[in-house]
Structure 1
C-alpha cells in the first residue's frame, strides 16, 4: 500500500513518526496509509514556515494581493469539490449531501476572508495632545491550527482562511481520523499562488505530532477545535509559553420547547440539531427540555422522527445518517447509553446498532432517544457527541434556566416559543455563546462563534475572526497638531 506523505514547504514529505491507517467507518476497510510527523519533523516544519514568512513577504503584501490569492483558493476548492467531498466521506462517514455542503461552506469561508482582508481598516484614535495616534494590525507569526474529525473541511477553512488573511504562516495538524482534506487544501493553496511554506500540514497523533507542535518556541499562537480535556492540556502549555490560544471545545447544548411553540416545526429542528452528522457536532442539541404540558406530545413526535431516519451507507442517495466516524467512537457512545440505562433511563427509540446485516461491518448506531433521567445523570451532563438525545421536563422559567445552565458547557442553545419577549429574556439568561430562537443550527461565517465556561476561549468567524490571528500595535507620531 502506498503511503501518503504530509505537506511541508510545498512538498510531500515522509516523516519519522509511526505511520497510521485511514479507515472507512462505513465498511471497516483501510483507505490508505499515512506518514506521521515526529518531533524532528515538527521542528523542521516550523523552521520552514518561519523562513517562508520572512522570505516571501506574505505579511507585507497589500491586502488586495492577499485577497486575490484567498479568492483563488476558493476557486480551487470549488473545482475539486467532488473530490474533497469524497475524501471526507471516506474518512468520517458523513452522507454525501452533507459532505458536498461542507465543501461549499469551506469555499465560501475563503471568499469571505478575502473580502475581510481587502476591506478591514485600522483606526486613528482620538488625540489627547500634539500627536497623531493610530493602530496597526499585524500578524502573530507562525500559527498552529489543530482541527477535529467531525467537520474537517469547514473547520480547517475556518482557521486557515482568517489566519492567512491576517498575514500569518499556518501549520495545520488535522485529526488522524480525517487527515486528507487539509492535505488537499494545502495543494490547492500552493497552486493558487500562496508562497510555499506559508501553509503546511503535519499528520500524526496528538502525542507524537500535536504536543511538539504546540510546545515549539517559534509557534506563536495555537487555534484548537476539539474536546475540552485536550483543550485544557493545550491551554496549560500555552500558559507556560505566554502565547495566545483560541479554543472551541465541547458542548451539551439545551434545546428548549415551551408549551406555546409550533411543535411540528420544533420537532423537525430538534431532529436536525441532534441527528444530522450522526450527532457528531459541537452544537448538537443533545438535551431536549420540554415544558411539562406538551412533554408527551413531543416524545411522540420525536420517536416517530427518529424511527423514520434512514441509516445507511454514505453514498446511498436515500441515506440521511451514516456511521459514526470511527469504531472507537461508537464504543464511546455505547458506554454512555449503557450508563443511562444503569441510571434509570428509558430507551424511547434506538439504543443500539442497526439490525441491517448490510451495515454490520461499519460503525453505525441508531438514532437514540432517552427519557426518565435525572438531570444529574452522566448522559445529561457530559458530551456524548453522537446521535443520542436526552429528553427532560421543566415547569417554569426558573426551573428551566437552572437545568439548562447546570453543566460545565456553554456553547449553544435553542428556544422555541411564540412569545418572543419571553424567548429573548431566557436567551439572555442562558450561559451559551450562540442562542437560536425559533430555529436551530443556523451558522454564518459573518457571525462570531465560541463558547462560555468549558466550551472555550475566544471567538472565531466574522471580522473578529481575522483579528484573532493578529496583534495590535499602537503608533504615535509626534509634532502633529490636529
Structure 2
C-alpha cells in the first residue's frame, strides 16, 4: 500500500481535519505512489498560527545561527539525494538523471541562502544634524506563504524555504497537489535538522482549499508563487485585499535566436536540450526557435537528427532522455496545440502523437515533436506549450529576430547564439526578457537572479537579489 503522509504543522505530523487524502500518481505507470493529506482552511489557519507564534524567537536568532540550521538542512538533502531523486521521478515522471540534477540544484539554493545570510546588510546615511545618523536596517517580514508548481517539486520548495528562513521569516508551503511527496520528505529533513517548531510548515491540498486561504490570510505578509500566469493574476488580485507583497514566477515563451555566424552544432545541441529537458515542462524552455535564413536548412537537419535520437522511456531507465507528461490533461493540451499549429499551416516533421504500446501504454508519453514552416502569426508562437514540441521559424536578419522575439506577452528567458559582440551588446539593450542565455543551453544558477518581465511575473528569486526579497527596510533616525 502506498505511504500515507500527514500534514507537517508546528513541527508535528497531523492528520487533516478533512479526514481525506489525495492519491499521487506515477505519470509513467499510473500507479499510486503515495497519498498526501487533503488539507483545508482549518489546517491552513493552524499552520499560519504556528508560523506566527514561531516568528519572534526565530527572527531574534543571529544570522549565523539561522545559517547553521539551513546548512544542516542542506547537508541532509545531500545525504538523501538518491531517495529524493527517486521520489521526484515517481511523482513527476522526470528521468532519474534529471531528478538528480534537480536535487543538486536544491542543495545549491540552500547553500547560497546559508552562506549569504550575513550579507543582508543595512546602510548608514548622514543625518540632518551633526549628532544624527540615519540607519536603513533590513528586517524580516514575518510569515511567508509559498505556493509551488509541479515541475520541480523539490527545488521550488528549497528555492523558497532557504532564503525565507535564512532571512529570519517563518513559512507555510503549499506544494502542488500533483507532486507533494518530495516536499513532504523535505519536511522530515526539516524536523531532523532541528529547525524549531513552526518555522517551516507544509500543508498539502488543492488550490481552492489551501492556496486561496493562504493568499487571503491577514497574517501572511508575502506570497511567493511559482506557477501559471492565469493563477498568478488571481493571486495578485486576492493579495490586494490585505496589501501583502507578492513575488510571482509565472509562464514563459522563451525565444531561441540562431544567427548565421553561430556555431550550428553547439546551437542545435542547446536548442534540443533546452526544449526537451523535463519533457519541455520548464518555464525557461526554448519555446520558439528563430533561425537565420542562411543557415535554416542546415539547422533543421541537425535538430531533426538530434530529436530522432532522443530515447523516450521509463524515467527510471538510466538511458531514458525523456519521460512522460505529468498528467492526462497536460498531454491532451499539448496535442491540441500541435494539431492547431498544423491546421494553421505548420509542417509536422516528426512526432505529433501520443506514444502507445509496450512501456508507453500505462503512462502519458508524447513523442518528441518538430514543427517547421511555423509563422509568427500562429497561435503556437504566442501561447505557452509546456511540452516536447519544437517550433522552427525562419528570420531574414537580426532585426527581424529581435522584433519577433519581443512580440510576446511573456518575458522570462531567452537564448542567443552568435559570435558577433555588437549583436550581443545590442541584445542587452533591446531584448525584453529578464534572463538571457548567450551561447549556452538553459539552466539558471543559485547565485544568479531568476526573474521575468511582462506577464512572466513580478520580483524574482535566487542570488542576493532574491534573498533580499525576504526582508523589508526599516529607517531609523538615530540621535543620542
State the Cα distance separating 1:89 from its structure 2 match: 0.5
Q: What whole-Å deviation, never above 9, does each CA across 1:162-195 have from its counterpart, x for those lacking one?
A: 0011111111100011101111112211211210
Determine if the alignment matches structure 1 residue 333 to structure 2 residue 326.
no
Map of 2:82 onto structure 1: 82
Q: Is the 8 A contact 1:307 1:350 kept in 2?
A: no
Map of 2:23 onto structure 1: 21
State the Cα distance separating 1:326 from its structure 2 match: 1.5
Q: Is the 8 A contact 1:10 1:187 kept in 2?
A: no
Equivalent pairs counted in the alignment come to 477
Matched position secondary structure for 1:33: strand
Map of 1:315 onto structure 2: 316
Map of 2:124 onto structure 1: 124
Counterpart CA distance in 2 for 1:190 and 1:410 is 38
More displaced, 434-443 or 73-82? 434-443
Matched position secondary structure for 1:360: helix
Matched position secondary structure for 1:224: strand
Counterpart CA distance in 2 for 1:295 and 1:257 is 9
- Flag as ranges the 4+ runs of structure 1 deviating above 6 A: none
Determine if the alignment matches structure 1 residue 72 to structure 2 residue 72.
yes
Q: What whole-Å deviation, never above 9, does each CA across 1:12-60 have from its counterpart, x for those lacking one?
A: 1221345211000010111122211111111111111111223xx1110
Q: What whole-Å deviation, never above 9, does each CA across 1:131-151 have from its counterpart, x for those lacking one?
A: 011111111111011001111
Map of 2:181 onto structure 1: 180
Q: What whole-Å deviation, never above 9, does each CA across 1:308-334 have from its counterpart, x for those lacking one?
A: 101110111110111111222111111
Written as runs of structure 1 = structure 2, the 5 A alignment for 1:294-313 is 294-313=295-314
Unaligned runs of 5+ in 1: none
Counterpart CA distance in 1 for 2:267 and 2:366 is 24
Unaligned runs of 5+ in 2: none
Map of 2:442 onto structure 1: 441
Map of 2:44 onto structure 1: 42
Q: Is the 8 A contact 1:397 1:426 kept in 2?
A: no
Matched position secondary structure for 2:294: helix
Counterpart CA distance in 2 for 1:150 and 1:330 is 14
State the Cα distance separating 1:267 from its structure 2 match: 0.3
More displaced, 228-237 or 423-432? 423-432
Q: What whole-Å deviation, never above 9, does each CA across 1:52-83 have from its counterpart, x for those lacking one?
A: 223xx111001111111110000110111111
Counterpart CA distance in 2 for 1:126 and 1:448 is 31
Written as runs of structure 1 = structure 2, the 5 A alignment for 1:392-411 is 392-411=393-412
TM-score by length of 2: 0.97
Counterpart CA distance in 1 for 2:209 and 2:385 is 26
Counterpart CA distance in 2 for 1:355 and 1:35 is 33
When the two chains are superposed, the root-mean-square deviation of aligned CA atoms in Å is 1.3
State the Cα distance separating 1:198 from its structure 2 match: 0.6
Matched position secondary structure for 1:293: coil
Counterpart CA distance in 2 for 1:459 and 1:317 is 34
State the Cα distance separating 1:356 from its structure 2 match: 4.4
Matched position secondary structure for 2:235: helix
Counterpart CA distance in 1 for 2:435 and 2:357 is 38
Q: Is the 8 A contact 1:23 1:91 kept in 2?
A: yes
Q: Is the 8 A contact 1:14 1:36 kept in 2?
A: no
